[in-house]
Amino acid sequence: MMSFLFFSAMLILDLVLMVLFRVDHSAMALSFIPGAALVYIAFETYQDPLNKAVVWAFLTGFLFDLLLFNALFDYALSMVIVVIIVRVWSKHLSESIFERIMLGLLLIFVREMALYGLALLQGFTTMNVQTWLTMRVFLTILGNVPVIVLVLYWLDFQDGFEAKQQRKQRRKERVAWYRYK
């Protein structure tokens, strides 16, 4: 339940940032696309079974496709690709904050490149890779550093809150075995 509330908060954060920073599809200005929900889903589910993580990523991407009026399954497929990649990369990293931030930035980069590949295959864009990297990915990577730090703070807060709830539950479940001797 608590992870659903935190996921909802990250989704709302993404949508608010998308309203504040509009995407310029003409490639005349830099664009910022937030990735709070993506990073949250990737870091929250990397210890879960792969099928659960893929379903969460697909549903989140599908929700983004519906909310943003994008081509159907663009975000859904790109988020599934990202979750599978985080599964592979996270086995080789430790839990330091720097490595988690770098992994989050790599996830956002992979998502943007997957979206570019899908748009290019479907004929939605004729931009070359250099223009895509300059106009869309550059500011997205820089702007998502504070967003990733915020997501990691929320995840640590969530873990601490859940541990505190478990300790309270365990205190209530204690049995005084010394009385039964």
Read out DSSP for 25-37? Answer: TTSSS------HH
Split into its structural domains, the chain has a count of 1
Burial class (CB in 10 A: 0-12, 13-18, 19+), 99: middle
Please give the average per-residue pLDDT across 157-177, as a whole number.
79
| Higher per-residue pLDDT: 181 or 149 | 149
3-class DSSP state for residue 48? coil
pLDDT of res. 25:
66
Q: Is the pLDDT of residue 24 over 80?
A: no
Geometric angle at alpha carbon 104, from 102 and 109, rounded to 5°:
95
> What is the phi/psi pair of residue 95, to 5°?
-100, 25
* pTM of the predicted protein model: 0.82
Query: By residue range, what is the domain housing residue 28?
Result: 2-180
